[in-house]
Chain A
């Protein structure tokens, strides 16, 4: 399962907010892959609606992962056991999260979007604890904090890095 919708390109949002980047790096371009797939389909949204998309992306994303966990737990121990209505529903809900994330990134400042997306971890931890009786240990909490901080370092740097020689 890929982490989806690593989209967004601040250069396209000039005039809408803070422009951190003057050049595009390859990391930039890779991060904007999924965004391109909605171009020309009329999916661009206004900024205020974009925050609803951001909230929806987190809600659907967390729900999708919890449904996938549930589908996996309840499946028979074979490969074919994974093919079920529960799995299909989980993937559908997860897909809604991806679509909303891409639409949110078209207008929401990237730093804001990725910072808010830390709520994904909160939702996953709460769901894992209450629905699946998983232990939320100090190690897991500290580890998630480190991962989130590392992601922010990479995302912010990708927007400000000078063009490097190819």
Chain B
């Protein structure tokens, strides 16, 4: 995988995480369906999701699926990290271990 492939895959994962966080905010604040349509969070979710999907399809033109798909697992590592950064939630030692294990696995998959 080239540096460009890596960057594009990381962008897919980041946008996917942003989409999830935005959807959470949108659903939390929504009292009705009209609220949801007018919510900037809902639109953030939609836009992130669409861009992330397009980027994913572009990655798949070049990167083998058996490499690209496992790397999407990085998103599981980003949720607790985002919770810590933006919501000041503490991370348990098992979660740090989980993040480190996922990153190690992703590097292995990406290299070979």
Contacts and interface: CB of A to CB of B under 8 A. Distances in A.
A34 B23 contact: yes
Interface stretch (A10-18, A49-57, A124-132): A124-132
A36 B75 CA distance: 20
Contact of B111 (A31, A36, A139): A139
B27 A37 contact: yes
B89 A30 contact: no
Interface in B8-35: 12, 15-17, 19-21, 23-24, 27
Interface string A49-69: 000000000000000011011
B57 to A, nearest CB: 5
A30 B73 CA distance: 16
A112 interface: no
Contacts of A37: 23, 27
A2 B16 contact: yes
Contacts of A135: 64, 66
Interface residues of A, number: 62
B64 A134 contact: yes
A153 B102 CA distance: 10
A139 B66 CA distance: 11
Interface residues of B, number: 58
B52 A150 contact: no
A33 B20 contact: yes
Given A72-B57, A137-B112, 7 more contacts: A26-B83, A27-B80, A150-B77, A150-B97, A153-B98, A155-B76, A158-B80
18 contacts: A1-B12, A30-B82, A33-B27, A71-B57, A72-B60, A75-B61, A121-B70, A135-B66, A139-B109, A140-B112, A144-B105, A145-B105, A150-B99, A154-B79, A157-B92, A157-B94, A165-B90, A166-B88
A89 interface: no
Contacts of A124: 65-66, 69-70
A66 B60 CA distance: 10
Contact of B102 (A91, A147, A166): A147
Nearest to A146: B105
